[in-house]
Amino acid sequence: MTTARTVPVLVYDGDCGFCTTCVRYAERHLRPRCTITAWQDADLDALGVTEQRALHEVLWITPSGVVHGGAQAVAKLLLNAGGPWSVAGAVLALPPVRWPAHAVYRLIAHNRHRMPGGTPACALPANGRPGPGR
């Protein structure tokens, strides 16, 4: 029998130094009301996501199982944090802003090994890089 989740889950790449640095910052400063887990430690099947999707982007999974990825996962995290962070999250979720936010997210994800805290191990595998259909 599966226990229903009562809080959202943020899933990130625990092997990536840049991703881990971002998550630790969020834990300290945003204090979101969610469970935060590396995809490598998560039961992805129970969360309703594939390893390929988890490799591709950060994920925000609602208690009902709706999955938001990339920039929209960041927007949901900010909204969940409340206070001034929620204003930033609301703006990031707006259609005129969400489109360039997606492009910026993909650019950062593709270059995360070059970002502060990043290492060569942070580079996305070829199947996790942006491309046609992603």
Q: Model confidence over 81-103: pLDDT tens digits? A: 999 999 999 999 999 999 999 99
Q: What is the phi/psi pair of residue 61, to 5°? A: -115, 120
**pTM of the predicted structure, to 2 decimals:** 0.85
Using an 8 Å Cβ cutoff, are 13 and 39 in contact? yes
Q: Model confidence over 48-67: pLDDT tens digits? A: 999 999 988 999 999 999 99
Q: Which residues contact 95 (CB under 8 A, 6 or more apart)?
A: none
Domain boundaries, the chain: 9-124
- When pLDDT is cut at 50, 70 and 90, the band that residue 125 belongs to is low
| 21 sits in which H/E element | helix 17-25
Task: Identify the CA nearest to 54 among candidates 45, 63, 62.
Answer: 45
